[in-house]
Each structure stands twice: as structure tokens, then as C-alpha cells.
Amino acid sequence: MSSHNQIVFFDTTLRDGEQSPGCTMHHDEKLRMAHQLASLGVDVLEAGFAIASQGDSDSIRMIAREVRGPRIASLARCKREDIEAAARSIEPAEKARIHTFLASSDLHLEAKLKITRAEALDQAAESVRLARTFADDVEFSAEDATRTDPDFLIKIVTVAVQAGATTINIPDTVGYTTPDEYAATFRMLIEKVPGLAGVDGKDDVILSTHCHNDLGMAVANTLAGIHAGARQAECTINGIGERAGNAALEEIAAALMVRRDKLPYTNNIKLNQLYPTSQMLAEFISFGCSPNKAVVGANAFAHESGIHQHGMMANPLTYEIMTPESVGVPSTNMVLGKHSGRRLLEQRLTELGHKLTRSQLDEVYHRFTELADRKKSIYDQDLLGLLQPDKSAVITH
Ligand code: MN
């Protein structure tokens, strides 16, 4: 285990997230997002993939020039022209990182790259060495690490560490691993590769998680990796990213807060910026998160059933493990619908200035349930309308 418990949050919303369908952002949107990610407190901000396009390269350079706080990273394949383009794009940054990657699974080496394992080791070493001539901070990723032969994974990680990589990322590129298997991979690397965090009490080289959500386990796998010694978590806002997306930053951060007892790690994320950041991203890309999305979804703090609403009014801890305010959500959203009880109706009417007697409330509640059968959501104006039909229900203020 690492001798310290600080988790580095590496945000890749603008790279892995942005490259997925429906998530393209314009130049100025990326810059606004990057400023917001800095306010959120991310430690490393992967701003793009410099060689991919002139637009990507320009955006990284602008973010590197204007955004202060996070370390600014550019992705690069293990190719000279990629690494040089990455180096140029991050040049104005106060703190910069080159993130170079090479596939390590036989499937990727044979089918995609058409190179041997020996050639892969040479390319990884050469590329990390080249990147180090431009930046002190270099991350190496073994793409498809979770489907890589363990002995070869140890070899390629060893070579990258010897060549000067300062962070080693073990991506679950295709969202295939399970928490116990992923944890075992980190423990194996810490045991077998000299120089990795924890081996000799030093934290020279940090291990990193990068998990995809194809089986819905991205956050669970990330936390398992951290538990096994990883000290960097790669993630995105709203969990956007290739296919089913990446591990969601807000879920990792909220888990670290709520379950400090099981996950005793520190980090720099300002939790009350989670919701504003999520909202900003949804505004820029072509979709928001689903209503039932953990932490930042519209229903994450909404309560409709009468039993839950009653409990919430008595004590919010009955049905909430964190307050909405703690993650930047304005306030708990009590939805008036057909499952609501009369206590919430009474409370809302009181807030609207109408205090009813018990029998008046019974009558209004009866009309309310009739309306709620027909109408999905009941708004304040509907409630006021319910007071009107029966003038005998004298309304007192
Ligand atoms: Mn990825």
C-alpha cells in the first residue's frame, strides 16, 4: 500500500468523454468546462488528444495557457509525432503532463497494431524516454491492460517505469474486469515491479485506474483499485466516455465522502461543485444524465412515496445518506404525485400561505389524489386550483 492516502483525481471529460458520440464540444465550451473543472478541484485535467486534430491541439493549448490549478495533460500514442504534438500543446501550462499509451493485450497487438510483444516493449520505452525530454511528468497507459497476459503486463510496466514514467495507468479499456480481479492486478504489480508506489516506502511512481462502465462496474472497479494501492482515479463528469462511459467522477467523490469509514482517503474535490459541473456539461453536450443517475440526477434527492416523504420530513437521514447541499444540489426535491401523503401536501400548502383545518385538508387531499391519477406532476398552481372549487372549505391565512 502507498504510504500516503491522497487520491489524485484525473479528469478526462474533455478527452475520453469528448470523443464519444453526442459529446463534441466547441472551443469556448471546452475552455469554460476546463475552468469549471479547475473550480471543482481536479488535480489533472486531460484536455484532449493533440495529434487528433488542429482543433484539439488548439483547445489544449488555450486551456494550458488560461486554466490554472490542475496539471494539464495531452494524450499521445507511442509515436514521435504524437508526443511532439502533445508537448507543443501543453507547453504554456504551469504544470504539464504527457500521457502516452500503447496496447498491451495480444489481441490489440496482433489485430490492431500488428507488432510483436518485443516491439511493443521497445516502443513503450522509447516513447516514455522521448516524452521525458519534454516533460518531467509522464504517464504511461497499457491499453487493454485487463485483458493482457499478467507476465507481459509486468514486463511492459517495468520497462515504462525504467524509462521514466511517473504515473502508470492500468486501463480497463473495454469495461471487462471485476473489482476483485482488478484489485489483484494492482497488488501483483506493486509486488513485482520495482519502483511502484509502496514497494520500498516511496511514492515515486503512482498507479492509476481507468475504468469503463460496459458492465456497470466502473466505479466499483475504481474503488477496488484504490483499495489495492492505486492513487490516481481517471474519470469523467456524468460518466461520459466511450460506449457505456467512464467511471463517474461525482460517484467516486461522493463515495469517498459518505463512506470515509471504509475508504479513508483524502482528495481535493470540492463536493459542492459537483452538481454545477454536471449541469454545465449537460448544457454543452447533446444529453444530460438520466434522472435516476447517482448523485447528480434529477431524482437523486427526490422523494415521491408518502412513506419516504413522511420520513424525510421527520429526519432527512431516514432516506438520504448525504445532503443535496453537500454535492451542490439546491435542495431536496419533494415531488408531489400520486404517491405523496397528506403531510407533504399540508406542508406545501402551508408554504404557499394556506393553513387548512383537518377536514379541509381531507377534502383537498381527496381532490389532489384524483388529479394525481390523471396528471404526472403536480405544480403549485395546480394545488392552488384545488383550493378553489369548494368555497365551503374556508381558507385561512
Ligand atoms: Mn478510455
DSSP string covering 181-193: HHHHHHHHHHHHS
- For residue 202, the model assigns a pLDDT of 56
Ligand 1 centre from 370 Cα, in Å? 50
Tens digit of each residue's pLDDT (9 = 90 or more) over 133-184:
999 999 999 999 999 999 999 999 999 999 999 999 999 999 999 999 999 9
Tens digit of each residue's pLDDT (9 = 90 or more) over 19-57:
999 999 999 999 999 999 999 999 999 999 999 999 999
Q: Is the pLDDT of residue 395 over 50?
A: no
Ligand 1 centre from 233 Cα, in Å? 12
Mean pLDDT of the chain: 91
More confident residue, 93 or 313: 93
Concatenated DSSP letters for 369-380?
A: HHHHHH-SS--H
Ligand 1 centre from 210 Cα, in Å? 7
Ligand 1 centre from 246 Cα, in Å? 7
Ligand 1 centre from 136 Cα, in Å? 23
238, 287 in Cβ contact below 8 A?
A: no
Ligand 1 centre from 249 Cα, in Å? 14
C-alpha dist (Å) from residue 301 to 136, 193, 252, 326:
43, 44, 17, 12
Ligand 1 centre from 173 Cα, in Å? 5
CB atoms within 10 A of CB 395: 16
Tens digit of each residue's pLDDT (9 = 90 or more) over 178-217:
999 999 999 999 999 998 865 444 558 999 999 999 999 9
Indicate the pTM of the whole model.
0.85
Ligand 1 centre from 196 Cα, in Å? 22
Ligand 1 centre from 4 Cα, in Å? 26
In angstroms, how far is the first alpha carbon of the chain from the final one?
Answer: 63
Ligand 1 centre from 14 Cα, in Å? 12
Ligand 1 centre from 365 Cα, in Å? 51
Ligand 1 centre from 12 Cα, in Å? 9
- For residue 203, the model assigns a pLDDT of 56
- CATH superfamily, region 8-284: Aldolase class I (3.20.20.70)
Band the pLDDT of 333: cuts 50, 70, 90. Answer: low
Ligand 1 centre from 177 Cα, in Å? 14
Ligand 1 centre from 50 Cα, in Å? 16
Name the most confidently modeled range: 159-173, 335-349, 377-391.
159-173
31, 256 in Cβ contact below 8 A?
A: no
Ligand 1 centre from 311 Cα, in Å? 41
Per DSSP (E only), the strands in the chain are 8-11, 44-49, 71-77, 96-103, 138-143, 167-172, 206-211, 232-235, 302-303, 333-334
Average pLDDT rounded to a whole number, residues 262-286: 95
Average pLDDT rounded to a whole number, residues 307-325: 86
Closest of 10, 21, 20, 80 to residue 50, by C-alpha: 80
User: Domain residues of the chain, as ranges?
Assistant: 8-284, 301-397
- For residue 20, the model assigns a pLDDT of 92
Ligand 1 centre from 274 Cα, in Å? 21
Q: In what helix (H) or strand (E) does residue 122 lie, and over which residues does it extend?
A: helix 117-134
Counting residues of the chain whose pLDDT is more than 90, the rounded percentage is 75
Ligand 1 centre from 230 Cα, in Å? 17
